[in-house]
Structure 1
Amino acid sequence: MNLHIMPDWHAYSMTLPEFNDTVHQTQLFLSQSQQVELILVDYLPQLREILSQKRIESAVTWSAYDLFQRITLKDEKPVALADFSWPDDAEFIRMNDRIEVWVKNTHFATVWVQQSPLMRFDRIDLLTDDIRRQELIIDDRGFISRVTTFNDDNEPIRRDYLTPSGGVAVQEDCVSAVVTTQQTWTPQTTFTNMAELVAAGLAHHLKSVPQNDYLIVSQSEMTTFLIHKVTPKQPVILSYQTERTDRQLEQHVPLQISGNVDFSVIDTPEQAEKLSAQSEQQSTFAIIPPYTVTARQNNVAVQPVATIYWFAPSIAMADFEVVSTLLASHPNVLVLIETTQSHALFDAMIEAASKTAANAHGIIDVDSQLAYKTRFQFIASQNEAQKMQYMANSRVLLDLGDTPNQYLQTQAIAYAVPQINRIQTAYLQPNQNGKLVTDRSELSGALNFYVDDTHWVSDVKESTHDIAAEYSDDMVWIKWQQIFNKIK
């Protein structure tokens, strides 16, 4: 079976996609020995790193921009400063994240260094009179792939997409959006915008894809436009993911399922209800989570400190007061709060409460106050690997949002970590692998149940083992096979 997947990696030209349905679907299909082709409609100069870091480098790739830019190179090729032409009297000043190039006491260029996971150059800014004039994007195969030219107000006015030899393959007018190009696969030389050119390139590629192969498309505004424009002959499965669809629903973007789509996959039952309510067309769909569950070892039994991992993009004051009260009476409890909200107000509350924090001997001193404050840790948004690491050492997952984080819920199941939610989801069986607190008055009791001792460990392990079996690689793959069989 050949599976062709079109990702929604529109925002990931220079970074790695996290919590992305395409990445996890590709990992799943490859683990089941399926032939996978990624149909890439986005400009991705760091693609090789994306594939490697996500362990999907064995997938075949077709790139619209490789077609446009006549790129046949496959392997990564790091570049050095000496690979570029610099003025003879250029001076190089190395900093943590960049190298500044100065010529005759004038800032000539900035070479930006990608920090993680490898030290490499990913772009160069050329300046005149301290104003950025051009941005040069370096493809990880070792050449300058795109040049963007800016006006005095730092607004892009032109983008040139280059061949590996440095010729201009595609020129985009950033003001009018008109694209000019010379391609061997089409006689058309002018397109209204880049999306039209991408659609033409995609239609050209799909002619070579067998009509009985499956095309799995990550739903987004861009991919929906392409499916409408191209009308593939292959069966199309549209993959909805909550993070994308919620954002589009907030912007009142219609998500009606097109007649060009044969089947739809939605990641949660809750999201299926949302999409059904806003769609005039009822479509055949299945609920398949993007994340599978593999049982892992939790270190809770050997941890002297009980860690509450609180996922809270937005922190409710009443919830924070409950957690603070718990920590005041449990000196062995630490709370990690993953949030994007400003926490200055909560820092002030912690500081004030620390003034009366005593040590084990009932003495209030500088050390006891510091010990209290350090038990509240605010952390920025975490990636997949970081979330997994935290789950391996957490006593309980606290997520009181209207849409509990699906990835964290699956990791809590994998590590047999009980979870406390305000919303019922398929990943929570109340009083088995966690607590459902529909009323705020229940929150304190639920937290105390899990931090007072570990009498619940064996029951949670047993219940999460049963839940994990439902979301294993094999079970999720069976759900996909059922879709393929229905389309046939």
Structure 2
Amino acid sequence: MIYFIPAWYKENSWKESEQFWYRRKLHSEFDETIKQIQLFHRNMRIDYRILLLNYAPNLRHFLHRQSVYRAPYWSCFDAIQQVKRSKIAVLSYHRLKWPKGIEFSYSPFAIVAFLNGQKYAQVEFGEDGNMISIDMYTDGIICRRNIYDDRGFVSTTTIFEDGKEKYTDYLMENGKWKMREDADSGVITINQNCPNYDINFNGKEQEIPFRRTVYENMEQVIEEVFQSYLKQTDHDAFITAVHPLHIGLLHRCLRDKPYICTFFEHRYRYRNLESIKSFLNHSNYIVTDSKRAMERVKKVVDSNVPCMDISPYDTRTDFGISQQLNVQNILLPVDDIDDNDLYLIIYELALYLLKNKKARVHVFTRKATNRDATIIMDKIAECLNENHFDMRWIYESDQKIESENDLDEEQEEKVEVRFILDQCVDERTISKCLNEQRVILDLRGRTDVFLFVTAISKGVPRISTRTDQYFKDRGNGYLIDDYSQIGTSVSYFLDSFENWNAALVSCYELGKKFTTGILIDAWKEVLTTLE
């Protein structure tokens, strides 16, 4: 049996990242564990199970969005709260007990309940239309928040005093509180009227009493329950996502177990690797999402620990439509680029725009807030303004100017916007954006695995200052040494259809190295170390 221990956390807390449907996503839900589960679920005849350590009342919806709804799992908080249900159940707010005289107001975002003209409650929904929570108010101040499990019951209730969170009760299906978490101290208190938790292993269930009545924090509770589950396992292996929240707990719990560590993008800061060196050295294998990440890990771990880079994304031939458009789009990722460097890059691109009237620069960022967008575009505007480029390239304008022959009639000059901001957080929006891009100008100096793999799938060439396993100079890419070569490199692909078509062919050939079959073979090689 293979057990996956994911890192599906909200920031750095033992909670899921489910959010209200109308709020803009601030991060992607996808990670390497999801891809691994997809590979195992669809292509490999190996028994596996997800071991979920965090509180996730909407887990079933999350798994459905990731196309792994039927993946088997064990939930630590289900064990703590002694939840028996397994299937999604529709729970309507109409079925709840409301005071007599309640009135519902249906806004475009949420449902607000009024009692005697005063706000009594607000019902919030998730991305799939499932009821997530209900906030209740007294004299316009929040007093209680109920979180609903997608299996049809109240999972937690948080009590507020004067609008400030006081404590949270984790409930059983019958509404009894099982444990209470103090908001200020984080101390956990176990209800002595129901002092047990359930461990269900291979269909056999046993009730185990908590060792203590009070715990200093949630991690201590999770560790105790998780240890009880691990005692049931025998010759099983674990694939664990490296995350700062649970790395200490896993180091204590998996000492005598075979396990594989996996790294994904920026989830763990590589400069902190020294602090988890012992955990990494005890692993059977380390898997990273890029060669560059693997090289950084190898500098820290012992030489006898095997490492391999396996892409968490596979390539699929799905060429974009950029050649069908009347404009030539240049994708410019700007996250993590220094302000001075961005200034120089924009200057060089603006010079190129003077020569190529069809070119457009799509400024690409994964930062989702309006404030982020404003900061980025203001920096670009500063460069254009100081170098006397047309400001209408960034600010749309229908300004009218007088004609040159001094006629009384005014002639309207329409200047199209040449710098467009694309805020793309999740994989779907990134893929949609790339579908219309003619070339990527990525000078960040880091490996953006999803962007690069998708670019190969879409047949979009890339300009870069360094090479990686997703890049072939004068194939699907163009290697430059400094910013003064930006115009030449962009011109190489945009001004010559022959060069761009050759890059398309190169993308197709390079994509063969990252197909599903190749990823499966790589994982089979890794798993042999656990036998």
Please tell me the root mean square deviation across aligned C-alpha atoms, in Å: 2.6
Deviation digits for residues 139-169 of structure 1, max 9, x if unmatched? 1112111112234362x33111111221112
Matched with 2:23 is: none
Out of 13, 17, 37, the position equivalent to 2:17 is 13
Tell me which amino acid in the other structure corresponds to 2:277.
Q
Q: Corresponding residue for 1:268?
A: 290
> Aligned to 2:520, what secondary structure does the other structure show?
helix
Which of 180, 194, 208 is the matching residue for 1:171? 180
In structure 1, the residue matched to 2:81 is 69
Superposed, 1:403-482 pairs within 5 Å as 403-482=446-525
Aligned pairs (5 A) from 1:280-295:
283-295=305-317
Contact 1:6 1:217 (C-alpha < 8 Å) held by counterparts: yes
Unaligned ranges ≥5, structure 1: none
The equivalent residue for 2:253 is 230
TM-score, scaled to structure 1: 0.90
Indicate how the Cα distance of structure 1 residues 349 and 119 shifts in structure 2: closer, same or farther if over 3 A, else same: farther
Deviations 1:257-316 (A, max 9, x none): 425422211222212232334557863322222222222232233222222222211451
Conserved in 1, the CA contact under 8 Å of 2:120 and 2:137? Answer: yes
Q: Secondary structure at the match of 2:330?
A: strand
Alpha-carbon shift at residue 428 of structure 1 (Å): 0.8
- Once the two structures are overlaid, the 10-residue window that deviates more, 187-196 or 340-349, is 340-349
Unaligned runs of 5+ in 2: 11-15, 20-26, 197-206, 405-410
Question: 1:299 aligns to what?
Answer: 321
Residue-by-residue CA offset, 1:202-242 (whole Å, 9 max, x unaligned):
2222233341x321000112331221221354411011123
Q: Specify the SS of the correspondent of 1:18.
A: coil
Aligned to 1:332: 358
Partners of 1:262 and 1:105 lie apart in 2 by: 63
Q: 1:323 to 1:257 in 2, by over 3 A?
A: farther
Secondary structure at the aligned position of 2:510 is classed as helix
Partners of 2:480 and 2:268 lie apart in 1 by 26
- Which sits farther off after the overlay, 472-481 or 292-301? 292-301
8 Å CA contact retained: 2:289, 2:449: no
Q: Aligned letter for 1:82?
A: H
User: Which residue pairs with 1:203 in the alignment?
Assistant: 227
User: Match for residue 266 of structure 2?
Assistant: 243
Indicate how the Cα distance of structure 1 residues 387 and 478 shifts in structure 2: closer, same or farther if over 3 A, else same.
same
Aligned CA distance change for structure 1 residues 139 and 433 (closer, same or farther; 3 Å)? same
Quick one: structure 1 residues 152 and 278, their matched pair in 2 at CA, closer, same or farther if it must change by over 3 Å? Answer: farther
Cα distance 1:456–1:225, how it changes in 2: closer, same or farther (>3 A)?
Answer: same
Does residue 96 (structure 1) correspond to residue 130 (structure 2)? The answer is no
Q: 1:9–1:17: 8 Å Cα contact kept in structure 2?
A: no
Shift of 1:366: 4.6
**Aligned with 2:43 (options 32, 44, 49):** 32
CA pair 398-28 structure 1, distance change in 2 beyond 3 A? farther
Question: What corresponds to 1:346 in structure 2?
Answer: 380
Q: CA deviation at 1:56?
A: 1.1
Say if 1:151 and 1:285 are closer, same or farther in 2 by CA, change over 3 A: farther
- Which residue in the other structure is 1:319 paired with? 345
Paired amino acid for 2:184: V
1:368 maps to what in 2?
Answer: 414
* Equivalences for residues 206-217 of structure 1 within 5 A: 206-211=230-235, 213-217=236-240
**Contact 1:397–1:417 (Cα < 8 Å) also in 2:** yes
Aligned partners of 1:19 and 1:407 also within 8 Å: no
CA–CA distance in 2 between the matches of 1:264 and 1:445?
40
Instruction: Compute the displacement of 1:47 (Å).
Output: 1.0
Q: Deviations over 1:72-99 (max 9, x none)?
A: 2222222222122222122222212212
Q: 1:253 to 1:66 in 2, by over 3 A?
A: farther
1:459 Cα shift? Answer: 1.9
Aligned to 2:276: 255
| Distance change in 2, residues 1:367/1:186 (3 Å) | farther
The structural deviation recorded for 1:253 is 7.7
Letter in structure 2 aligned against 1:303: L
Contact 1:64/1:202 (<8 A) preserved: yes
Please list the CA deviations of residues 370-411 of structure 1 after superposition, one character each: whole Å capped at 9, or x if unmatched. x2x2x3211223310111122222111222113131110000
Are the equivalent residues in 1 in contact too, given 2:292–2:447 (CA < 8 A)? no
Structure 2 Cα separation of the partners of residues 356 and 99 of structure 1: 42
1:335 touches 1:376 (CA, 8 Å); kept in 2?
yes
Query: For residues 5 and 377 of structure 1, do their structure 2 counterparts lie closer, same or farther at Cα, with a shift above 3 Å needed?
Result: same
Q: Deviations over 1:30-69 (max 9, x none)?
A: 2313333111111112111111111111311111111111
What amino acid is the match of 1:235? P
Secondary structure of residue in 2 paired with 1:242 = coil
Question: CA 1:83–1:260 in structure 2 vs 1: closer, same or farther (change >3 Å)?
Answer: farther
2:125 aligned residue (76, 98, 113): 113
Secondary structure of 1:255's partner? Answer: helix
Deviations 1:335-393 (A, max 9, x none): 2212234122424666874468899xxx8965522x2x2x3211223310111122222
The one-letter amino acid of 1:432's match is G
Partner AA of 2:107 in structure 1: M
Work out whether residues 244 and 268 of structure 2, in 8 Å CA contact, stay in contact via their aligned partners in 1. Answer: no
Opposite residue 158 of structure 1, the aligned amino acid is: Y
Counterpart for residue 58 of structure 2: 46
What residue is the counterpart of 2:168 in the other structure? 159
- The structure-2 alpha-carbon separation of the partners of 1:356 and 1:413, relative to structure 1 and needing over 3 Å to count, comes to closer
Match status 1:380 vs 2:423:
yes
Deviates more, 1:306-315 or 1:440-449: 306-315
**Cross-structure match for 2:199:** none
Partner amino acid for 1:256?
A: K
Q: Secondary structure at the match of 2:497?
A: coil
Task: Give, in angstroms, the shift of residue 438 of structure 1.
Answer: 2.5
Per the alignment, residue 148 of structure 2 pairs with 138
Which is worse superposed, 346-355 or 46-55?
346-355
- Count of residue pairs the alignment pairs up: 475
Kindly provide the amino acid, as one letter, of the partner of residue 20 in structure 1: D
Name the CA distance, whole Å, in 1 between partners of 2:166 and 2:252.
27
**After the TM superposition, which of the residue ranges 458-467 and 377-386 deviates more from structure 2?**
458-467
State how far apart, in whole Å, the 2-side matches of 1:265 and 1:93 are: 51
8 Å Cα contact 1:404-1:421 kept in structure 2: no
Secondary structure class of the residue paired with 1:432: coil
Higher relative contact order (CA 8 A, sep 6+): 2
